[in-house]
Amino acid sequence: MPEFRAGSTAQVSYLDELVEAGLLTRTGVHGVYARGQAFERIRLAFDALVTRAAAPEAPEPLYFPPLLPREQLETSGYLGSFPHLAGTVFAFEGDEDDAAAQLELASRHEDWSGFQQMSDMVLLPAACYPLYPAVAQRGPLPEAGLTLDTGDSYVFRREPSSDPARMQIFHMREIVRVADRDTVIEWRREWRSRAEALLRSLGLELELDVAHDPFFGRTGRLLAAQQRDQELKWELLAPVAGEKPTAIASSNYHQDHFGLTYELQTAGGEPAHTGCMAFGEERVTLALLSAHGLEVSSWPEQVLEKLELEH
Ligand code: AMP
Ligand code: ZN
């Protein structure tokens, strides 16, 4: 079984309130919820706000489904860094006898994994991952590089929890820059203040922090320290439930990792550098509900206007 992270008392009771209000509906699996109308309205209004915020740089939309070719997960290094978070897709390839045996076990809720074969797909762990090999296929980048938009992409992380902010499947919206080193560094610097201003304009109490990913195992601790030291990741945190604020948006700088992995080159023939600005849409929604109340119609006028939400 994966490690289950029990939410704090405050987090668990916030989830109860959200369910009670019909904002989320439980499925029976921790971290997998159905979103009710009010929740989805807020999420989509925020998604549209990101679209408006990114519009001046006219990012190219490139929307992928929430499945990644397995080969890309194998090449990207994800299984080295986050084997505990990955989700894979298996499927049945047997004959009629196998199908009957599988059904027999499944109907008793026993282990039927012996009848499932690994497929050529895995679940998408981060919205920006499929973009790099896709643009590498086009040949060298244009002179100015590229700015891309993943849309509101579903991503999967195997981290079951009773904290409503820690989901196993959620929407990640990313704006992604692929260019030379200096351009990407400067772009991330600009987005730092832009993202902060955007979220502050929604009345959220924010903290900015240099962060690291939850790398696996002992070598993972080294990778996390390196990532922190080089400030490759920063996060914007806001109160959701409990004492500690939650990361609602983050930005990663991959240096030339994807450039080298996928032979993604700048116009000048150098390995491209990449960086991304990611918004966790469910977490932003949860932070807004926590800051302004579960009833959208009573939110501050200025926040509703910013989100173009009618009363
Ligand atoms: P990351 O790639 O881990 O930096 O994730 C990007 C953004 O997705 C974070 O800033 C969060 O807002 C959001 N996020 C990450 N993990 C989860 C999760 N388990 N549940 C909900 N949102 C998440
Ligand atoms: Zn990304």
Q: How many CB atoms lie within 10 A of CB 52?
A: 11
Tokens 């369910």 belong to: 19
Q: In the structure, how many helices (H) and strands (E) does the chain have?
A: 11, 12
**Local confidence band at 278 (pLDDT 50, 70, 90 cut-offs):** very high
Ligand 1 centre distance from Cα of residue 302 (Å): 27
Report the distance separating Cα 5 and Cα 294, nearest Å: 25
- One-letter amino acid identity for 131? L
Pocket of ligand 1 (CB under 6 A): 126, 157, 159, 165-167, 170, 172, 235, 247-250, 278, 280, 282-283
For residue 267, the SS3 value is coil
Element (H, E) at 177: strand 169-179
The pLDDT of residue 2 is: 79
Q: What tokens appear for 111 in the block?
A: 């282990």
Ligand 1 centre distance from Cα of residue 156 (Å): 10
List pLDDT tens digits, range 26-65.
999 999 999 999 999 999 999 999 999 999 999 999 999 9
**Closest to 266 in 3D by CA, of 187, 180, 186:** 180
**Local confidence band at 311 (pLDDT 50, 70, 90 cut-offs):** confident
Question: Ligand 1 pocket check: which of 196, 283, 286 to mutate, most ligand atoms within 8 Å of Cβ?
Answer: 283
**Minimal-distance CA residue to ligand 1 atom 2:** 126
Ligand 2 centre distance from Cα of residue 73 (Å): 14
Ligand 1 centre distance from Cα of residue 280 (Å): 5
Q: Quote the percentage of the chain above a pLDDT of 90.
A: 96
For residue 203, the SS3 value is coil
- One-letter amino acid identity for 224? A
Ligand 2 centre distance from Cα of residue 189 (Å): 15
Ligand 2 centre distance from Cα of residue 46 (Å): 18
Mean per-residue pLDDT of the chain: 97
Question: Ligand 1 pocket check: which of 24, 209, 250 to mutate, most ligand atoms within 8 Å of Cβ?
Answer: 250
The pLDDT of residue 180 is: 98
Contacts with 31 (C-beta within 8 Å, 6 or more apart), sequence order: 159, 160, 161, 166, 167, 168, 169
Per-residue pLDDT, averaged over 142-148, amounts to 98
**Minimal-distance CA residue to ligand 1 atom 16:** 166
For residue 39, the SS3 value is helix
Question: Ligand 1 pocket check: which of 30, 76, 129, 157 to mutate, most ligand atoms within 8 Å of Cβ?
Answer: 157
User: How would DSSP label each residue in 5-32?
Assistant: BPPPHHHHHHHHHHHHTTSEEE-SSTT-
Q: Looking at the DSSP assignment, which residues form a beta bridge with residue 149?
A: 61, 175
